[in-house]
């Protein structure tokens, strides 16, 4: 197999590379016995490196997914140059010609994973991810980067059970891709997605505290209207609705698993007024908190009785 990567003559600081390889080997192979095996994963990020081309005239014996996290990539597909923007993934099957390049001026960042196995095609079919083309419009998500990064780290650290963890992370990547591909969520920039992921994490951790969307937006140097629009574009819902859903979800858990009073539960999830909480809960779930608890416990006991019978 011939593989050409022209990278000579430029200082390393202009190009960031961080990759991990199975058995620390750069030589790909075809796995015939195991259903799935992850061979390598990592990232390339161009800063001022003028151009980074890759040419594999005979392809590789394994599969590859390339995720364009920022900037754009130029791919020669079926003899034609296609500019692939951030928020897309390229799927290369074994022995497909690989001819692509990135420009430093685009500040491109890509993540990749190489994999093999006798069940790869069936696994893609299970997650309803097409393999009859090259480009997958998966959208931009920090979750993708986290999964690629974790696969790379598993390959580098080789902790106990790392190969099993690698297949788990890869399947999680495919599941996340499928979800994003079917959501039809508006595509947002990497910067916006990162900021909205940060906001989502903050809301998850502080949902029961007294804070305002306006205060949060100001703390991140954003206008409230811009933050609201960006959050809705990235998450498919408004910030207030997102926080309300977290509160109601946790109220359900407390109603189902504790004997706390409605007032205590309201306070625990962030409401000083139990009557206001009850109105919100009824609107969201169709039942008052007390009725929800009673119904849940009746159904639970009925399920226990039927199981014992």
All domains of the chain in start order, with CATH: 4-183 (2.60.120.280), 191-302 (1.10.10.60)
- For residues 62 and 114, the answer to whether their CB atoms sit within 8 Å is yes
pLDDT at 5: 41
- For residues 202 and 216, the answer to whether their CB atoms sit within 8 Å is yes
pLDDT at 184: 54
Q: Report in angstroms the alpha-carbon separations of 62 from 5, 109, 212, 299.
A: 18, 22, 50, 51
CA 118 to CA 122: how far, in whole Å?
9
pLDDT at 180: 84
Give the count of beta carbons closer than 10 Å to the beta carbon of residue 293: 20
Sheet of 51-56: strands edge to edge?
4-5, 51-56, 98-103, 72-77, 80-85
pLDDT at 33: 93
Q: Report in angstroms the alpha-carbon separations of 194 from 137, 145, 211, 285.
A: 19, 11, 21, 31
Is pTM, for the whole model, over 0.95? no
Residues in the chain: 309
pLDDT along the chain (309 residues), means of 10: 38 76 89 95 90 94 95 92 91 96 92 97 95 88 91 95 97 93 61 81 90 90 89 85 93 92 95 95 94 90 66
pLDDT at 9: 42
DSSP, collapsed to helix, strand or coil, labels residue 4 as strand
pLDDT at 194: 76
pLDDT at 139: 83
pLDDT at 263: 95
Report how far Cα 144 is from the mean position of its chain's Cα atoms.
Answer: 4
């Amino acid at each position: 197999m011939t593989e050409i990567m022209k990278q000579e003559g430029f200082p390393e600081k202009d190009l960031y590379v961080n990759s991990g390889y199975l058995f620390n080997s750069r030589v790909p192979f075809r796995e015939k016995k195991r259903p799935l095996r992850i061979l390598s994963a990592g990232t390339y990020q161009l800063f001022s490196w003028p151009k980074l081309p890759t040419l594999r005239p005979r392809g590789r014996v394994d599969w590859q997914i390339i995720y364009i996290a920022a900037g754009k990539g130029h791919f020669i597909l079926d003899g034609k140059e296609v500019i692939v923007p951030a928020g897309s993934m390229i799927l290369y099957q074994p022995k497909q010609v690989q001819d692509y390049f990135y420009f430093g001026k685009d500040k491109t960042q890509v993540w990749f994973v190489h994999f093999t196995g006798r069940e790869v095609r069936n696994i893609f079919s299970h997650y309803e991810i097409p393999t009859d083309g090259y480009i997958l419009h998966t959208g931009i998500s920090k979750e993708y980067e986290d999964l690629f990064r974790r696969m790379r780290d598993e390959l580098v650290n080789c902790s106990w059970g790392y190969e099993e963890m690698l297949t788990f992370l890869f399947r999680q990547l495919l599941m996340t891709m499928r979800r994003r591909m079917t959501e039809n969520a508006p595509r947002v920039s990497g910067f916006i997605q990162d900021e909205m992921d940060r906001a989502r994490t903050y809301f998850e951790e502080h949902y029961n505290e007294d804070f305002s969307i306006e205060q949060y937006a100001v703390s991140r140097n954003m206008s409230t209207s811009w933050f609201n629009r960006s959050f809705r574009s990235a998450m498919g819902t408004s910030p207030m609705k997102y926080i309300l859903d977290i509160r109601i979800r946790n109220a359900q858990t407390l109603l189902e698993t504790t004997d706390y009073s409605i007032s205590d539960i309201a306070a625990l999830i962030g409401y000083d007024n139990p009557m206001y909480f009850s109105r919100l809960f009824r609107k969201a779930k169709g039942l008052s908190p007390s009725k929800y608890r009673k119904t849940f416990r009746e159904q639970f006991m009925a399920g226990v009785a039927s199981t014992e019978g």
